[in-house]
Structure 1
C-alpha cells in the first residue's frame, strides 16, 4: 500500500484535491473515475511526508515544507466563515482539508477530523499538534467552544496571526538587506584574496623588490587562506554550532537575550517587536475571556526571549498576590516607561485590553519607522565599508607598482 496525492475535476468543472491510500496508482485512478471524477494529476507521496499517527507529529521533511503563519491565517479565516454559516465542525474541516495546498497542514487536518469523530473537542484535537498550532490558537479555540462563539474566536485568531506575520516580515526585511550586502562583500573579498592576489604575488616575486607592509600582510593572508581553507571553514562551522549549543544553556541564554534587547541599533527594534507581541497577545487573550493568570502563562511561553519571559513570570507572582501589572513592569527596566504608564491607566479605568491593543498598534508603527530608519542608516555605512575593504586591497596591491614607477622616474 502507498499514499497518493491527487487533483481531479468533477462534472461541474470544480477542482478537488486529496490524499488516498491504495495498492497502486492504477487502482486509485480507477476508483476516482468510478466516482465520476476527471483525473488532472496523481502522484505518490514520499514516506517522509506521510503523517505519523504513532507520534502525532507532522514531519517537517514533506512536500511543501512546514506550515507558515500565512497558511494558518487563511485556514482560521475560512474556518470562521464556515462555522458562522452554520456548517457542522467536522464538515467544515473536511471542506478545508480539500482546499489547503500545503501537504503538512492537509495531513494534520485529516487527523483533527478523525480525533473529533472519535469524540474529542476541536481544541483538544489541535493540542495534539503543538508544532503547528500555537498556545494562543489552542486556548482561544477552547474559549470559543466554551462560550459558543468559536467563529468569533477563529476570526480573532486570524487577525492576531495577520498582525504577527506582518511584524515578522518587517523585521526580516530589516535584516535581509545588510546581511546580503555583508555576504556579498565577504565573497568578493575572499575571491580577491584567494584568486587575484596570488597572481600579483607571482609577478612581485620576479621583480625582486622590497614590498610595502600592507602588501606583505595581504599576501601572507592570501597564502594562509589558500593553504588552510579547510581548517578555517571547520572553525567557522564549529563556532556556529558551538554558539548554538551554548544558547541552550539557560544561564547563557538569559544573558544573551538580555544583551540583544540592549545592543546598539538592533536592540531598539527587538524591544519594540517584543513589546508589541506581548501587548497584542495579552490583549487578545483577555478580550477572549481567558483568565489573567492563564493569559500571562501563555504569553510567557510565546515570548521568545528568556529575559522577557522572566519579567512576565514575575507579573504572574504579583497578580497572585493581588497586585497590578504596572508595578512589576516598571521595575523590570525592560518595558519603556510610556508602556508602563499606559498599562497602569488601563488597569485603573478597566480598559486594559483596549489599552494593550493601542500599545501594540503604536509599536507596530514604531517598528515600521525604525526599520526604514535602519535601512537609511546602514546603507551608507555598508557602502563605505565595501569601499574601504575592497579599495584597501586594490591600493595595497598597486603600492609596489607605484613604488617601482617612482624609482624609474
Structure 2
C-alpha cells in the first residue's frame, strides 16, 4: 500500500493536510470524499520507517495467535448480530484490540471499506492475518446476508483448532524437555567434567580403554572448536530451514513427518481432522464443492496430504464421487469412507464430515494418552546408553588405577 500526501478542504472551507494510505490516487481521493473532504491535491510520498518500528510490527505479527482471531470473530459475531454497522464495529475493535498487528490490519480494512471495497476484499489484502479459508467464509456470509453466522462458524472452527493444537503441544512438552536436558547434560560433561578427569589420567601415565579415549577425543574437539561447531550448527539450521521453505523441500519435509514412528500417525490424524472440519464448514457455508476442496487442501498445514486431497478435485470434476476419490487417496480408514458414502446418499455430507472430524479427534486423544507410554522406553534407553558410556569411560580407568596401586 502506497502513501499519499493530500491537501483538502472540509465543508466549512478549512484547509487540511495529511498523509493517507491507499493503492492508487483515485482510491485515496474516494476515501477522502467519503470523509466529507474535498481533495485539492494528492501526491505520492515516502515515509521513513524506523527500524525499531519494523521490528515491533514483526514481533506483533509473530505474537498473533488463534486466541486473538477467536476473540475477534466472537466480538464481530456479537456486534453484527446486534445490528451494529460494520465500519463502526471494526473501528471499535481496532481501538480495543491488544495485538498491534491485528490493530493495524483492522485499520487498513477500514480504509478499504471507506473506499468502497467489501469486507472480504479488504481482508484478502491482509493475507498474513486472515487465511484464504477465513476470507472465503466471510465472502459467503456477505453474499448470503449471514455475516454474523459466518463469524460464529469461524469462531467455533478456530476454537476446535486451538484445542487440538493445545493437546498436541502439551503431549510433546515432556519428551522435548527430557531431550533438551540430555543435550545440556552432554554439553556440560564434555566441557567441564571430562577435562577434569583427563588431567588425572595423564598424571597416571596408564593405558586408557577405548571408551575413555573416545570421550577425551570428543571433549578435546568440543573445547577447541566450539566456535566452529556453533557456526556449523547455525549454518546447518539455516540451510535446512531455507530448503524447507521451498515448495519441493516443504513437500519432502511434510512427507517425512508422516513417516516418523509414533509421531507421524498423530500428525496425520490431526491433519485429517483439520481437513474434515474445515471442509464441513466450507460446504455448510455454501461454497462450491470444487472450490472448497482446493481451498481446504491449501489450508490444512501439510502440503503432502494437501497434494493428495487436491487430486480429489480432478476426479470429482470428471464425475467421480467424493467417496471414491477419498478412497483413492489412501488416507481415510474404511469407517470414515463409509461415513462419507452415507453423507453422499443422504445429501448431507457436511454433517458426516463433522462426524469424521469428531472421530479423528477421539483417535488423537487416544494416541496422545499413549504417547508418554510409547516414548518413555525410548528415552530410558537413550539415558541408559549415555550413562553407560560415561560410566565405562570415566570409572574403568579409575578402577584400573586403584587395582594397580594395590
Q: TM-score, normalised by structure 1?
A: 0.83
For 1:203-352, what aligned pairs fall within 5 Å after superposition?
203-352=200-349
1:158-189 deviation line (CA, Å, top 9, x unaligned): 00011111112222223332122111101111
Shift of residue 111 of structure 1? Answer: 1.4
- Does structure 1 conserve the Cα–Cα contact (< 8 Å) formed by 2:171 and 2:371? yes
Q: CA deviation at 1:385?
A: 1.9
Unaligned runs of 5+ in 2: 1-18, 20-48
How far has the Cα of 1:130 moved from its partner?
Answer: 0.8
Aligned to 1:120: 117
Rounded to whole Å, the distance in 2 between the matches of 1:336 and 1:246 is 32
Report if the CA contact (8 A) 1:284-1:353 is conserved: yes
Q: Deviations over 1:225-279 (max 9, x none)?
A: 1112222222222222222233344444433322321321111101100110110
Question: Quick check: 1:191 aligned with 2:188?
Answer: yes
Please tell me whether the aligned partners of residues 195 and 216 of structure 2 are also in contact (alpha carbons under 8 angstroms).
yes
In the alignment, structure 1 residue 363 sits paired with structure 2 residue 360: yes
RMSD: 2.2
| Map of 1:201 onto structure 2 | 198
How many pairs were matched up?
360
1:152 maps to 149
Q: State the shift of 1:203 in Å.
A: 0.8
Say whether the 8 Å CA contact 2:326–2:332 is kept in structure 1. Answer: yes
When the two structures are superposed, what TM-score results if normalisation uses the length of structure 2? 0.83
| 1:406 corresponding residue in structure 2 | 403
Is the Cα–Cα contact under 8 Å of residues 300 and 309 in structure 1 kept in the other structure? Answer: yes
Any stretches of 5+ residues in structure 1 without a counterpart?
1-20, 22-45, 52-57
- Cα distance, 1:201 vs structure 2: 0.5
Which residue is equivalent to 2:23?
none
Distance 1:157 1:48, change over 3 A: farther
- Find the aligned partners of 2:226 and 2:295 in 1 and give their Cα distance: 47
